[in-house]
Amino acid sequence: MPEPRRAHLLPVAGILLLGLLAYSNSLRGDFVFDDLRQIRDNPVIRDLGKFLWSGAGYRFSPNRFVAYLTFALNYRFGGLAVFGWHAVNLAIHLANALVLYALVVSAFRAPRIAGSGLAASARAVAFSAAALFVTHPLQTQAVSYVVQRLTSLAALFYLLAMLLYLRWRLLQEAGGRGPLRAATYLGAVAAALLAVRTKEIAFTLPAAALLLEAALFGRPDRRRLLAMVPFAAAALWIPATLLLQQRTSGHLLSDVDAVSRLQATGVSRLDYLRTQLVVVARYLRLLAWPTGQDADPDLRLVLSLREPGVFPALLLHLGLLGAAAWAWRRTSPGAARPLDPAARLAAAGILFFYVALSVESSLVPIADLMFEHRAYLPSAGFFAAVAVTAALALRALRPSRSPGRVLVALALACALPLGFATLLRNRVWWTEIAFWTDVAARSPAKARARFNLATALVQRGREEDGVLELRRTLAIDPGWTEARIQLGGVLMLLGRYPEAEPELRRAVTEKPAEPEALFDLAELLWRTGRREEARDWYRRFLGVAPPELDRLRRIAEARTRVSR
């Protein structure tokens, strides 16, 4: 029998309160990093009518249309006022925590788990999983970083599809018929469709649904497999869309190869997979002990299994997967010395962690090797496994007593410091300077971190500090022409022309058709009295300058017309 709804009021309120406290200082953070390109400076989201009715929004990013639609709605009703953007992100995160709670509670009603000694403590187990999920600082990149609504919203639709599918199966098992059962199944399919149009990570949803079916109901028969066809079709919509976008080449095999790479990279799949062994181990370490977070880590490709850290990572993964397989087998019908059926739920959580990560951390090369938001959806399985394992351990220690109260106390003892760590971590997302200062401190040899920190400093009027960071950028990557152009421009702004000139001359040597370098060098020569030479560089600039540099073009045209 399902518990009365009021029985869930206290755990639900507790989850919401923990989440609100953990993110109470996140609502005023600036747009940072990709927020600037994807939101602040993105013309596609500025006109909701055009976004919807002209097809501009869908053409911009078909597989992420739903997420960008929410950006367009945010802009329509609040412009670029950051509070509204962060409030929506936080609401999505809280909803994810509540869906995770409902998933775990519902799982204990499934045939394979209902006989567990933890069934009476299902709410405590579910609360513990959701409390850890909602407060953990590793989630901040998917919550406080506005553009990663892409991840958190996709996770919401993904988990909601799983929950509705589970509820539909429970109604089937109970012999329920009629509109409620049909509506629940259709709701699951609708959530799956929304997930695959929010972010590509939803591609694994059919595998997750199959895992849920096998873990909670047993090996699926033909009827159950047929019920999953709509989920598989929805998932295939993702590569089909990517394939259609690549069709202009006319070569099917090369198109398929392009589809299997989410971004253009020169990385081999095997090198990427070896690297992800270490990366996924790092996600697990951060979930277990969240210190040393880095929003843009400086990682190198792993080119051999003999490199340091690879073998321990491989042992960790084999150990976890082996433990999941052992628990699965020991909770199967007819198993010798069977475990409590809830161990099967813990095994499913571990397997889900790896399934949900497989799009971004397996054989599909992505330009950036690691981002913390990629662990957001997989962490739902991780925290469910942790909560169930802790409850089983408590029950083994005290067989005669329900572990519920002790488990909740332990969950709160972990969630409160995690929430405080999240409060501290949110500060990184307050400003561009705070964000890139933190990244540069944690990845001091990463040129991108130094360059973006320099850009943020210059934009805030701290040109001297910007020059220092630009020099550090070029010390790491001497061939980064964009950084050299910016250094020359900032030095010129400071009136340090003798220092600026060699930087700009080297930039135009490296990139002779770069409009910004050509204009800045011409401007420097003009300001230092070398007008005739300056006119020559202005003419070169006019020969390559695109129409959007209209203001600079007018200056160059006026100066090339000045008589001697």
Nearest Cα to 134, choosing from 172, 187, 91?
91
Distance of CA 484 to the CA centre of its chain: 31
Q: Burial, 457: exposed, middle or buried (Cβ in 10 Å; 0-12, 13-18, 19+)?
A: buried
* CATH class, 432-561 region: mainly alpha
Ordered DSSP codes for 195-253 = HHTT-GGGGGHHHHHHHHHHHHH-S--HHHHHHTHHHHHHHHHHHHHHHHHTGGG--HH
**Up-side HSE of residue 330: CA atoms within 13 Å toward CB?**
15
Average of per-residue pLDDT across 109-122: 95
Strands (E), 425-505: none
Exposure string (b/e) for 277-306, b if CB count within 10 Å is 16 or more? bbbbbbbbebbeebeebbbbbbbeebeeee
Tell me the two tokens of residue 51: 């976004």
pLDDT tens-digit profile of 251-304? 333 343 444 454 545 789 999 999 999 999 999 999 999 999 999 999 999 999
Nearest Cα to 358, choosing from 471, 476, 238, 208?
208
Report the C-alpha gap between 116 and 108 in whole angstroms: 8
Q: If you average pLDDT over every residue of the chain, what do you get? A: 93
For 403, the enclosing helix (H) or strand (E) is none
**What pLDDT does residue 259 have?**
43
Q: For residues 198 and 67, is the Cβ–Cβ distance under 8 A?
A: yes
Q: Burial, 507: exposed, middle or buried (Cβ in 10 Å; 0-12, 13-18, 19+)?
A: buried
Report the C-alpha gap between 480 and 37 in whole angstroms: 20
**What pLDDT does residue 258 have?**
42
Q: Burial, 229: exposed, middle or buried (Cβ in 10 Å; 0-12, 13-18, 19+)?
A: exposed
Q: For residues 200 and 240, is the Cβ–Cβ distance under 8 A?
A: no
- Cβ contacts of residue 198 below 8 Å, gap of 6+? 64, 65, 66, 67, 150, 153, 154, 157
Report the C-alpha gap between 360 and 128 in whole angstroms: 27
Q: For residues 27 and 90, is the Cβ–Cβ distance under 8 A?
A: yes
Residue 534 per-residue DSSP state: H
Question: Any idea where the domains of the chain sit in the sequence?
Answer: 8-428, 432-561
Report the C-alpha gap between 330 and 348 in whole angstroms: 13
Q: For residues 192 and 157, is the Cβ–Cβ distance under 8 A?
A: yes
Work out the percent of the chain whose per-residue pLDDT is above 90: 88
pLDDT tens-digit profile of 215-224? 999 999 999 9
**What pLDDT does residue 2 have?**
57
Report the C-alpha gap between 291 and 301 in whole angstroms: 23
Report the C-alpha gap between 70 and 64 in whole angstroms: 10
pTM here is 0.94
Q: Does residue 248 register a pLDDT over 80?
A: no
Residue type, 518: L
**What pLDDT does residue 505 have?**
97
